Structure 1
Amino acid sequence: MLLKIRRKLTKLAAVVSIAALMTTWLSQDGQVKAEAISAQGKFNMSYMYFGSPSTYVSQVNKSGQTLDVVSPSYFHLDSVGSLQLDDSLQASFITEMHAQGKKVVPFLSNDFDAAVGAAAITNRDTLVDQLVQAIQSNNLDGINMDIENVDAAYRDQYTDFVKMLRDKLSSSKEVSVAVAANPTGTTKSWIGLYDYKALSAVSDYLMLMAYDESYPGDPTPGPVASMPFVEKSIQYALTQMPSEKLVLGVPFYGRYWNQDASFNGSGVSLQTLNKLMQTYQGTTRYDSASQSPVATFVIQPNDQETTISGKTLPAGTYTVWYENEQSLKAKLQLVNKYKLKGTGSWSLNQELASTWDYYSLWVDGFYFADMQKHWAQADVLAAANRGWMVGTSSSAFSPDTALTRAQAAAIMVRVLGLSGESVSASAAGFKDVPASHWAQQDILIAKQHGLIQGISDDRFAPDQSITREQMSVLLSRVLKLQPKSGTAAKFSDVPADSWSAEAIAAMSSNGLVDGYAGGTFRPGASLTRAEMATLLSRVAPLLAK
């Protein structure tokens, strides 16, 4: 019994010591000396074109917290290049997106009509005023310019069009430009309409349409966006503009061909293709050269009919080049490789629901396969983006394993911005933390600053787990929290005279920790890595004060 009491007192003293010293450090200048308080990852936007406006909110909600901007098809042009507002524009949708912290930036389209696009550019003085008025009166957040199939002769005039918009809209409103992929750097045809260098200088970003390598009417089946095509397009763009202004466009669709050429490169959403493959028992292969999947299915004369975009598919053999999880992940990794601003996608409601299980992780450069459907994905992503937590390997986060003392030390060092500090030559190490240990430097830095001590003079126990009550005591003291009267949860397994009761009450009443079904807290249970990420998300606003 005496040994148990000594152990408890030692544990309590260690936690108190850690918390007290952290409180002193955190109180300097009234701010946290943190490496990165922002959880903001890469920028993501998506176009909205398909489906009824009544489904727009549900379309966005399927993407969770991934999207920063949605770009609906509100702006069109008439034959003389004047603005036409689409009936899909609904104030309720804009209000809901703003409530979710998302911007609504409609795109201006000429629907690939060269004459209409040229008229709009020529009529830009009047059109700019119309657009500014529409944006302001409808509480929109800017405009995405999507003028396509206009000859390169209009190149300078188009840049001037964008510049006029930028000059007349407030800086809080986005002005972005969708530009064609240009892997060869041509200045001819409609691909040459876009002066990347000049446009990037007068807009917030360029959305690189790195798709339609194969196009409607293309007689030769091929990929929508092969990796060589996409990567060369990025590389050329970066010779003309800074990487932080380039957004990589990815396709949520495929293109299909049939044997009698009645369909050459017609578009099909990934959702529809999935149904086709199930209905006609299609087969798939992965083309390694293009890093694109290719599907084949056969419609027999007596098979169930399928209609796409109002056209019935006749009997025959079909080839489809499209995107799947493997090919999309490969493209998303290019964002991190080339340090791009983020991604855009054409278009929302064409993707498979599973796309959002991995999208943010891969865009932000965290390839954690075990986080794709995990309840704490958003918190883990936030902690990773802040630089506070890292994976246990390049492909795993291990969310449900216990947080170790070594990991806790490393996290606290990162949160306090101490990473990379030199360790005194006279600093005594620990016998169980050799120089080869992954966290040796962080443990020594934490010890040097008095943030965490060993379990004895020469032992640290780096692989020993930290409990829920220990972390509650530590964080409550760091944040100088007091229990809020009448709001603290009562946990049946946390007696009022427990050494951690007040801290758990403080954390609970401030909404930072939860209990389990049945009214328990499980104070002695190990804190998991996912739970630590969630705690960090909850305390981050308090740390920033």
Structure 2
Amino acid sequence: MRKSRKLWRKIVVALATSGLVAMATTTEAPVTQAQTSSAQGAFAMSYLYFGAPNSYTSQVDKSGQTLDVVSPSYFHIQTDGSLQIDDSFQATFVTDMHQRGKRVVPFLSNDFDQVLGEKAIVNRETLVNQIVQFITTNQLDGINMDIENVGAEYRDQYTDLVKMLRAKLPSSAEVSVAVAANPTGATTSWIALYDYTALAAVSDYLMVMAYDESYPGDTTPGPVASLPFVEKSIQYAIKMAPADKIVLGLPFYGRYWNQDPAANGAGISSQMIKNLLDTYKGTVRYDAASQSPVATFSISATDAATSAYGNKLGPGDYTVWYENEQSLKEKLKLVSKYHLKGTGSWSLNQETSDTWDYYSLWSDGFYFTDVQKHWAQDDVLAAANLGWMLGVAADRFAPDAALTRAEAATIIVRALGLTGEAAAGSASFRDVPATHWAWQSIRLAKLSGLIQGISDDRFAPDQIITREQMSVLLSRALGLTSQAGGGAAAQVFADVPAGSWSAGAIAAMSSNGLVDGYANGTFRPSASLTRGEMAALLSRAQPLLAK
């Protein structure tokens, strides 16, 4: 990144009090499984560089639960190669992030200054000791090394610097390295400073800066990170280092060109690009070859003055190459395609607000367009990452569709980890032939005593499951009783008579904090359960399922 200066998600909406109305019954097709990096989802980090330090917490909060690590601009290099602490450091920010379950890993930058970078590498022992002391004293979670624009002749010495950091920091502290993208396998210039293989061996991961394909001063307008450039950069990286140590760096900015040569390739945030397009009625085309959007707009001499990062945008015709939802989604897909550790981004406070509506879904390999901005998005993603609930198609989860009995049986079997082959003829239902997509799961659920048919020989796999039926099913699966909730009293619901067949299960679920009623004191036992509500219920039940 070229610079000019220095597990489970919280349920957002409660299951039974969401107020959502279940959609009509639908007939489900066999579920489609998307690729995913791990049960916990792909790793995500982002750099903090722009904005006032007291805005850092709010910047991170905009990303919701997406980020695991934030990397603020705390460390720079003095003229003698020693450590300089940026005045943006605030201990309260570290506390805020730890309370949110996020790690704070500041990055060390030479601000693209070759001489400073060389000094730091040569005087690495002093620098390393200073870094270790500051990290330890201030309860930081590690260091991200970001030395750039230093020649390849310093390659081995730079690796040694990182090796020293790994040796002197606690094993719990992160040591990561930002490395230049190298799509052509260059062996000269500063791009070759990074020995991917050796650096990966002594660090937690390499953050591949797969951007700046076009750069400041570039006379030819072009993409910041075309898809071919990014993919070739990944392919080189995974030849040199394990894929699970590669983090794909993504840009939250663009670059612009106009008639002023001094503006060639100047940086501009994605947020500002959106604002400029709205203000000046710009147009956007999507370049298929690079998988990048290209915007054009004009500023007239009579328009109000505006600026980007202190650079005045004067009158003229502008061309901007940048990233939008479509282009970022294509890059995020590469994480699961190449089984990478995850993503990094340069940098927070440059992205558009809708970025976080899809970021985790796409980086985890679940391309559910109907889940973006849905109240159950985090719960759907958690259930999908665990393999408990999958999509009804590669790009659709159907969160508001009613859950069927076949789906319910399959979900519970997956969540409990039940395996094995049901014997031929056992637990047979004439409406669930061996060709049915849920045949095996239904048999396992029946043999385990979790679910029954609606008669001796009929299961009704496409019939919707109700709230009371799921309460009975899940209470059986978890072995719950109304006394197992740590002393919590079960709610009394006006529409659940004490002697009804599901009353005991609903009481058990209620006392264990898994279900609630509605504001009017009812439970609505016969109401259908949606797939989104089921995902939220699994989030609540996960600690019990993990026992």
TM, length-normalised to structure 2: 0.90
- Indicate conservation of the 8 Å contact 1:479/1:543, yes or no: no
- Indicate conservation of the 8 Å contact 2:415/2:545, yes or no: no
Whichever residue aligns with residue 429 of structure 1, its letter is: S
Inter-partner Cα distance in structure 1 for 2:307 and 2:508:
60
1:85 paired residue number? 85
Gap change, CA 1:533 and 1:172, over 3 Å in 2: same
- Offset, 1:469: 1.4
- Offset, 1:499: 2.9
Whichever residue aligns with residue 48 of structure 1, its letter is: L
Gap change, CA 1:479 and 1:99, over 3 Å in 2: farther
- Offset, 1:87: 1.3
- Indicate conservation of the 8 Å contact 1:405/1:462, yes or no: yes
- Residue-by-residue CA offset, 1:483-530 (whole Å, 9 max, x unaligned): 455643332222333332333233223221122222221111111111
1:221 paired residue number? 221
Gap change, CA 1:507 and 1:451, over 3 Å in 2: closer
Whichever residue aligns with residue 435 of structure 1, its letter is: A
- Offset, 1:428: 5.8
5 Å-filtered alignment, 1:216-255, equals 216-255=216-255
Whichever residue aligns with residue 499 of structure 2, its letter is: D
- Indicate conservation of the 8 Å contact 2:109/2:145, yes or no: yes
Inter-partner Cα distance in structure 2 for 1:504 and 1:447:
21
Inter-partner Cα distance in structure 2 for 1:368 and 1:500:
34
2:463 paired residue number? 464
1:395 paired residue number? 395
Inter-partner Cα distance in structure 1 for 2:139 and 2:491:
42
5 Å-filtered alignment, 1:36-435, equals 39-419=39-419, 421-427=420-426, 429-435=428-434
Inter-partner Cα distance in structure 1 for 2:84 and 2:109:
10
- Indicate conservation of the 8 Å contact 1:495/1:501, yes or no: yes
Of 179-188 and 527-536, deviating more is 527-536
1:7 paired residue number? none
Of 435-444 and 478-487, deviating more is 478-487
Whichever residue aligns with residue 468 of structure 2, its letter is: E
2:527 paired residue number? 525
- Indicate conservation of the 8 Å contact 1:155/1:193, yes or no: yes
Whichever residue aligns with residue 386 of structure 1, its letter is: L
Inter-partner Cα distance in structure 2 for 1:481 and 1:232:
56
What secondary structure is seen at the aligned counterpart in 2 of 1:319? strand
- Indicate conservation of the 8 Å contact 2:77/2:109, yes or no: yes
5 Å-filtered alignment, 1:445-524, equals 445-477=444-476, 478-483=478-483, 487-524=489-526
2:30 paired residue number? none
- Indicate conservation of the 8 Å contact 2:416/2:545, yes or no: no
Inter-partner Cα distance in structure 2 for 1:224 and 1:168:
37
Whichever residue aligns with residue 455 of structure 1, its letter is: I
- Offset, 1:309: 1.6
Of 360-369 and 494-503, deviating more is 494-503
Inter-partner Cα distance in structure 1 for 2:130 and 2:232:
37
TM, length-normalised to structure 1: 0.91
* Structure 2 unaligned spans of 5+: 1-35
Whichever residue aligns with residue 240 of structure 2, its letter is: Q
1:439 paired residue number? 438
What secondary structure is seen at the aligned counterpart in 2 of 1:369? coil
- Residue-by-residue CA offset, 1:454-500 (whole Å, 9 max, x unaligned): 22232210011111112222323424232455643332222333332
What secondary structure is seen at the aligned counterpart in 2 of 1:515? coil
- Residue-by-residue CA offset, 1:425-444 (whole Å, 9 max, x unaligned): 34363322233322123223
Inter-partner Cα distance in structure 1 for 2:204 and 2:125:
21
Of 329-338 and 297-306, deviating more is 297-306
Inter-partner Cα distance in structure 1 for 2:266 and 2:427:
69
In angstroms, what is the RMSD of aligned CA positions? 1.6
Inter-partner Cα distance in structure 1 for 2:68 and 2:210:
20
More helix by share: 1
- Indicate conservation of the 8 Å contact 1:77/1:109, yes or no: yes
- Residue-by-residue CA offset, 1:378-436 (whole Å, 9 max, x unaligned): 111111111111111111111111111100111122122235x3332343633222333
- Indicate conservation of the 8 Å contact 2:451/2:473, yes or no: no
Off by >4 Å, runs of 4+ in structure 1: 483-486
- Offset, 1:39: 5.0
Whichever residue aligns with residue 67 of structure 1, its letter is: L
Inter-partner Cα distance in structure 2 for 1:510 and 1:415:
18
- Indicate conservation of the 8 Å contact 1:479/1:542, yes or no: no
What secondary structure is seen at the aligned counterpart in 1 of 2:175? strand
Inter-partner Cα distance in structure 1 for 2:488 and 2:242:
54
- Offset, 1:314: 1.1
Gap change, CA 1:39 and 1:520, over 3 Å in 2: farther
- Offset, 1:125: 0.4
Of 515-524 and 60-69, deviating more is 515-524
Gap change, CA 1:45 and 1:486, over 3 Å in 2: closer
- Indicate conservation of the 8 Å contact 2:488/2:512, yes or no: no
- Residue-by-residue CA offset, 1:194-218 (whole Å, 9 max, x unaligned): 0000000000000000000000111
- Offset, 1:60: 0.6
What secondary structure is seen at the aligned counterpart in 2 of 1:71? strand
Using the aligned pairs only, state the percent identity. 71
Inter-partner Cα distance in structure 2 for 1:458 and 1:403:
22
Inter-partner Cα distance in structure 1 for 2:65 and 2:408:
27
Whichever residue aligns with residue 369 of structure 2, its letter is: A
- Residue-by-residue CA offset, 1:236-270 (whole Å, 9 max, x unaligned): 11111110000000000000000232310000000
Gap change, CA 1:490 and 1:451, over 3 Å in 2: closer
What secondary structure is seen at the aligned counterpart in 2 of 1:367? coil
1:16 paired residue number? none
Whichever residue aligns with residue 511 of structure 1, its letter is: G
Whichever residue aligns with residue 64 of structure 1, its letter is: G
Inter-partner Cα distance in structure 2 for 1:442 and 1:435:
11
What secondary structure is seen at the aligned counterpart in 1 of 2:261? coil
1:540 paired residue number? 542
- Indicate conservation of the 8 Å contact 2:482/2:490, yes or no: no
What secondary structure is seen at the aligned counterpart in 1 of 2:295? strand
Gap change, CA 1:67 and 1:436, over 3 Å in 2: same
What secondary structure is seen at the aligned counterpart in 2 of 1:506? helix
Of 339-348 and 257-266, deviating more is 257-266
Inter-partner Cα distance in structure 1 for 2:324 and 2:153:
38
Inter-partner Cα distance in structure 1 for 2:232 and 2:538:
39
Q: How many residues align?
A: 508
1:27 paired residue number? none
- Offset, 1:104: 0.3
